[in-house]
Amino acid sequence: MGSRSDKFKVNGRRQILVADDEFINRELLDNILRDEYEILKAEDGETAYEMLTDHRHTVSLVLLDLNMPKLSGLDLLAKMKEDEELKSIPVIVLTSDSNSEVESLKKGAADFVPKPYPQPDVIRARIARTIELAEDRQIISATERDVLTGLYTSEYFFRYCEQFDKAYPETDMDVLYIDVNHFHVLNERFGMEKGDEVLKSIADCLRTIFSPGESILCRKNADMFLVYCPHREEYQSLVEKAATCCPDLPTSIKIRAGVYPHGDKHLDIQSRFTRAKIAADKIRNNYSVSVSSFDEALLEQELFAGQLVDEFPKALAEKQFQVFLQPKFDIRGDKPVLASAEALVRWFHPTLGMISPGAFIPLFEGNGLIAQLDEYVWRGAAEMIADWKKRLGISVPVSVNLSRVEMYDPNLADTLEKIIQDTGITSKDIYLEITESAYVRDSDQIVKKVQQLRERGFFVEMDDFGSGYSSLNMISSLPIDALKLDMFFIRHAFAEGNDTRMISIVIDIAEYLNVPVIAEGVETEEQYLALKKLGCAIIQGYYFSKPVPGPDFEKFLLEKEESPC
C-alpha cells in the first residue's frame, strides 16, 4: 500500500468531488476550495457515482447534495457503503433539512454542512479535518491488519488481548501458537504465490474455527499464527481440520500448535505466548505429533538451558569446568591392567553445584559452543598426560570425546596438533572417541576426516557402537582403531536371561576388522566375567571406577607402576 500522499494527491493536491445539481452551488464551493484542492464536479447522482468509480484512488472527500436527480444523495451513500474501496472515502452532506442530517449521518456520512453555506473558513476547516481523520483511520487499519490474511498484526493483536483481559478478567483463556513446519520448503518448491495461498487458506480456516466474536487472531510473521480464545478441552481435531483447509499441502508440510491452556493472566500477554511457543518448539521435529501443551517443567528446562548458555563464557574463563578421568582396563591377561582413560567433563557451577555433561553437551552441540569447551577439555587432558610423564615418569593414553559438529571443522587436526606441541606430548598419547551416530550421516565426509586424523597418528575409537545403527557394509570400510560398545547395548544384553549373542556378533565383527572391543558401562563382576569370556578386550565402568578428578586418578597410574603385567 502506498503512503498517504501517493494515494490521495492529484497534481500534488488532494481531490474533492462536489456533487450538487444546482450550478450555483457547485460554483460557490469551487470558488471556496479551488486554491487548495483539485475539484471534480457532478450535476446528478449517477454522474457522481461514475466519477467516484473512475477516480476511486484519488478522491479524498465527497461534498454531497442530498436532493439530486437520477440518484439521490442517500442512495449514493448507500451504494458507496457497499463498495470496499469507496466506503473509506469520507462524505460531507450538504443540506438545508435538519432531519436529513441525522439520516445521512446514520447512513455513514462523516459530517454535514448546512445550507445556506456558512463562512468559507468554516467549510474549509471542516473539510480539512474530515480528510485528516479519514486518512489517519486508513493508516491505522493498514497496520492493524496483516495485508495478506486480514488477521491482526502482532502489535495490535497484543493490545486487543490486553483490552479483552481488562474487560473480561474472569474468562478462562487459552493461548495458541500455530505454525507451519518447513513452510520455506513450500515457498522454495512451489513459489511464493503458492505459499501465500496456503497462508490465506489457513487464516480463513482459523477464522471459521475460532469465531472472531470470541477469539482474537493474528498472523505474527511468515508462517506463525497466534490465537487467543476461550478455553477448550481439545485441540487435536481443530489442528487436523486446519490442515485439511489446504488439501494439496505436500506431506512434508505440517501444521503444529503449541497450547498454553488456562493462560495465567498475571503474566504479561507476550510471556503467555512465549510459553505456547515453547510447547510448539518441543514438537518441531516430531512428525507424528501436531499439538503440544505447555507445562512448567518445560519452561524450567528452557530457562535452565538459557542460563547455562549465558553463563558459559564466564564459566570457561573461571575454569569451572573440570576434566574427570575414568580408567579403562585391558582384561585379556590374567588380571586387569590399566590401558588408558577417558576424559569426561564436569561443570562445577558456583550456585548449581556439579552439572553432568548430559545437561549441557547436547545444548552446546546445538549452538556451537562445544568447540570451545572441547578444546579446553582436550588441552586439560593433554596437560595431565604431560604432567604424569614429567612428574611420575608414567605414560598412559587418555581418550577425549569429539562431537559430530567438530568433524566438520577444517582446522580440527591442526587444533589437536597445536595442543600436542604446546604440552609436549605425542599424538599416540591422545585417543579420539567419535560417536557412531557421527558416521551415519555424511559418512563419506566423516570417513575422510577420520582417515586424516589417523594419518596424523591419532588412535580413533568408535564410541557408542550399537546405538547408531550403522550398516555392516559401512563398518567394513571404516578407518577405526577400536569399537566401543554402547552402554545400553550391554545393559540390554545382561538385563534378562544374559542374552549376549549380539555382543558376540560385535566381537566377531571387531575381530574381522582386526580392532579391539571396548565395553563401557560395566558395573558388575558378572558382566566383567561374561565379557572376558566372550573375548572383549577392554572394559570401562563403575565396576572398576567412576570417573574421578585428575589427582584421584593417579592411584591407578601408581598401581600400574607397582604391578606391571
Contacting positions for Mg ion (CB under 5 A): 401, 433, 463-464
Phi, psi of 330 (to 5 degrees): -80, 120
Q: Which residue number, 181 or 401, has a Cβ lying nearer to Mg ion?
A: 401
Per CB under 6 A, the list member of 237, 356, 451, 524 interacting with ligand C2E is 356
Q: Which residue number, 276 or 519, has a Cβ lying nearer to ligand C2E?
A: 519
From the list ligand C2E, Mg ion, none, pick the one residue 453 interacts with, judged by a Cβ distance below 5 to 8 Å according to partner type: none
Q: Are 104 and 66 in contact (CB under 8 A)?
A: yes
Strand partners, 215: none
Q: What string marks each residue from 404 to 443 as x (binds ligand C2E by CB under 6 A) or -?
A: -----------------------------x----------
Identify the CA nearest to 61 among candidates 8, 103, 108, 23: 8
Q: Which residue number, 68 or 339, has a Cβ lying nearer to Mg ion?
A: 339
Alpha helices in 318-434 (DSSP H): 357-367, 370-387, 412-423
User: Minimal distance in Å, beta carbon 380 to ligand C2E?
Assistant: 9
User: Minimal distance in Å, beta carbon 488 to Mg ion?
Assistant: 10
From the list ligand C2E, Mg ion, none, pick the one residue 380 interacts with, judged by a Cβ distance below 5 to 8 Å according to partner type: none
Per CB under 6 A, the list member of 43, 135, 374, 429 interacting with ligand C2E is 374
Which residues, numbered 472-511, are part of the site for ligand C2E (CB under 6 A)? 487
Identify the CA nearest to 385 among candidates 356, 352, 342, 336: 342
Q: Which residue number, 168 or 542, has a Cβ lying nearer to ligand C2E?
A: 542
Which stretch in 85-93, 298-306, 356-364, 387-395 sits in contact with ligand C2E by CB under 6 A? Answer: 356-364
User: Minimal distance in Å, beta carbon 463 to Mg ion?
Assistant: 4
From the list ligand C2E, Mg ion, none, pick the one residue 523 interacts with, judged by a Cβ distance below 5 to 8 Å according to partner type: ligand C2E
DSSP state of 210: S
**Joined grid coordinates for residue 269:** 500477554
Q: What string marks each residue from 315 to 344 as x (binds ligand C2E by CB under 6 A) or -?
A: -----------x-----------------x
Which residues, numbered 376-395, are part of the site for ligand C2E (CB under 6 A)? 377
Count CB neighbours of 461 within 10 A: 24
Q: Helix, strand, or coil here: 124?
A: helix
User: Minimal distance in Å, beta carbon 358 to ligand C2E?
Assistant: 5
From the list Mg ion, ligand C2E, none, pick the one residue 357 interacts with, judged by a Cβ distance below 5 to 8 Å according to partner type: ligand C2E
**Joined grid coordinates for residue 89:** 472515502
Instruction: Say which residues have a Cβ less than 8 Å from residue 61's Cβ, sequence separation at least 6.
Output: 14, 16, 17, 89, 90, 91, 92, 127, 130, 131, 134
From the list Mg ion, ligand C2E, none, pick the one residue 518 interacts with, judged by a Cβ distance below 5 to 8 Å according to partner type: none
From the list Mg ion, ligand C2E, none, pick the one residue 554 interacts with, judged by a Cβ distance below 5 to 8 Å according to partner type: none
Residue 521, interface with ligand C2E (CB under 6 A)?
yes
- What is the spatial distance between Cα 138 and Cα 4, in angstroms, rounded to a whole number? 9
- What is the spatial distance between Cα 513 and Cα 269, in angstroms, rounded to a whole number? 60
Q: Which residue number, 178 or 341, has a Cβ lying nearer to ligand C2E?
A: 341
- What is the spatial distance between Cα 40 and Cα 20, in angstroms, rounded to a whole number? 11
Q: Which residue number, 464 or 554, has a Cβ lying nearer to Mg ion?
A: 464
Count CB neighbours of 347 within 10 A: 22
Q: Which residue number, 127 or 485, has a Cβ lying nearer to Mg ion?
A: 485
Which stretch in 124-132, 197-205, 239-247, 351-359 sits in contact with ligand C2E by CB under 6 A? Answer: 351-359
Q: Which residue number, 283 or 430, has a Cβ lying nearer to ligand C2E?
A: 430
Q: Are 397 and 560 in contact (CB under 8 A)?
A: no
- What is the spatial distance between Cα 217 and Cα 242, in angstroms, rounded to a whole number? 14
Q: Which residue number, 75 or 523, has a Cβ lying nearer to ligand C2E?
A: 523
Q: What string marks each residue from 530 to 549 as x (binds ligand C2E by CB under 6 A) or -?
A: ----------xxx----x--
Q: Which residue number, 43 or 464, has a Cβ lying nearer to Mg ion?
A: 464
Instruction: Say which residues have a Cβ less than 8 Å from residue 342's Cβ, sequence separation at least 6.
Output: 325, 326, 328, 398, 399, 400, 401, 433, 520, 540, 547
**Joined grid coordinates for residue 199:** 497462508
Residue 195, interface with ligand C2E (CB under 6 A)?
no
Q: Which residue number, 160 or 348, has a Cβ lying nearer to ligand C2E?
A: 348
Please report how the helices 487-495 and 501-513 are oriented relative to each other, as an axis angle in degrees rounded to 10: 140
- What is the spatial distance between Cα 140 and Cα 129, in angstroms, rounded to a whole number? 17
User: Minimal distance in Å, beta carbon 263 to Mg ion?
Assistant: 42
Per CB under 6 A, the list member of 64, 257, 345, 536 interacting with ligand C2E is 345
Q: State how beta strands 482-485 and 337-349 pair.
A: unpaired
Residue 358, interface with ligand C2E (CB under 6 A)?
yes
User: Minimal distance in Å, beta carbon 327 to ligand C2E?
Assistant: 10
- What is the spatial distance between Cα 212 and Cα 216, in angstroms, rounded to a whole number? 6
Residue 523, interface with ligand C2E (CB under 6 A)?
yes
User: Minimal distance in Å, beta carbon 542 to ligand C2E?
Assistant: 4
- What is the spatial distance between Cα 355 and Cα 297, in angstroms, rounded to a whole number? 18
Residue showing the smallest CB distance to ligand C2E in the complex: 541
SS3 labels along 285-325: CCCCCCEEECCHHHHHHHHHHHHHHHHHHHHHHCCCEEEEE
From the list Mg ion, ligand C2E, none, pick the one residue 52 interacts with, judged by a Cβ distance below 5 to 8 Å according to partner type: none
User: Minimal distance in Å, beta carbon 433 to Mg ion?
Assistant: 4
Instruction: Say which residues have a Cβ less than 8 Å from residue 46's Cβ, sequence separation at least 6.
Output: 70, 71
Identify the CA nearest to 442 among candidates 496, 392, 481, 405: 405
| Site residues for ligand C2E per CB under 6 A | 326, 344-345, 356-358, 361, 370, 374, 377, 401, 403, 433, 463-464, 487, 520-523, 540-542, 547
